[in-house]
Amino acid sequence: MGLAVWCHDQAGPFQTVPYPGGSWQPQQQARRYPHEYFRNGTAKLMTLFHPAKGCVRAKGVNSCANRILHPWLKQHLSQVLQTLPSKPLADSTQNRQQWMQWYEGLSITPAIPDELPPLRMLLIQDNLAGHKSHDWVQWCFQQGIALLYTPLGGSWLNMTESIQGIIERRALNGQHPETPEEIIQALEATVRGWNQNPTPFVWGGKRAARRDRARKRRETLAGSGACVQRIRPRISKIRKFLNYADVHDN
């Protein structure tokens, strides 16, 4: 539909503890991690992710309070909007329909203003109270950004969860940071390395193909939703039965 789709999430908190991870070690001499550590604060990662290109905008912080998160989001979203092609304002009725189609069927809808600019971006966020503050929601509407919230228990629908898991493993596995600043530096350095050769994200992929093949191997029961795995008799048992029948027939 010609709309830019971005996702947002916060990762953490990351503690100043040893993070186990794979490493090259002499045989039978596995790397040992200290069992004692000092709680010296935590760090978090604010993340904006563009799945179509795989680009990440992220910043490590000690707190993700609204007074810190919202100005950061506004700054980076404004920069993204400047790179998008401008859209002429269509008929007001048609323009409103383009906005409202993303909120059809919801039990609770945000307070959508009467006058709306052309819709330019979809921003996916988790269903948190801070993401629904009046000032933040109205600012997004004024910029042409429609907010879509993942349902409760459905945070996996936000692709930022996946990219944050990759960044966390690459930055912290096998490390023992002693200060939040070390964690922030490792996370931001990993993001810079990722952006040098980003990987686009798509729905489905190899896992979806495996699920499709698994469904094809099943057989439905009497047209219902229940199914069973296809029972394939072993060839060896069939041959034994045939040999036994031939012997007794002779």
If one compares 173 and 128, the residue with the highest pLDDT of the two is 173
Residue 109 has pLDDT above 80, yes or no: no
Residue in 197, 129, 128, 200 with CA at minimum distance from that of residue 159: 200
Q: Are 161 and 183 in contact (CB under 8 A)?
A: no
Residue 38 has pLDDT above 90, yes or no: no
Residue in 112, 188, 104 with CA at minimum distance from that of residue 145: 112
DSSP 8-state class, residue 142: H
pTM of the model: 0.73
Residue 230 has pLDDT above 60, yes or no: no
Mean pLDDT of 123-138: 85
Residue 187 has pLDDT above 90, yes or no: yes
Residue 132 has pLDDT above 60, yes or no: yes
Mean pLDDT of 21-38: 75
Question: Three-state SS across 157-216?
Answer: HCCHHHHHHHHHHHHHCCCCCCCHHHHHHHHHHHHHHHHHCCCCCCCCCHHHHHHHHHHH
- Predicted pLDDT of residue 245: 56
If one compares 203 and 189, the residue with the highest pLDDT of the two is 189
With 0-12 / 13-18 / 19 or more C-beta atoms within 10 angstroms meaning exposed / middle / buried, residue 14 is: buried
Distances (CA, A) of 74 to 68, 69, 136: 11, 9, 9
The pLDDT tens digits of the residues spanning 46-100 come to 999 998 899 999 999 998 888 899 999 999 999 998 888 877 766 778 878 887 8
In the chain, the domains with their CATH numbers are: 4-196 (3.30.420.10), 211-249 (no CATH)
Mean pLDDT of 171-183: 88
* Average per-residue pLDDT for the chain: 81
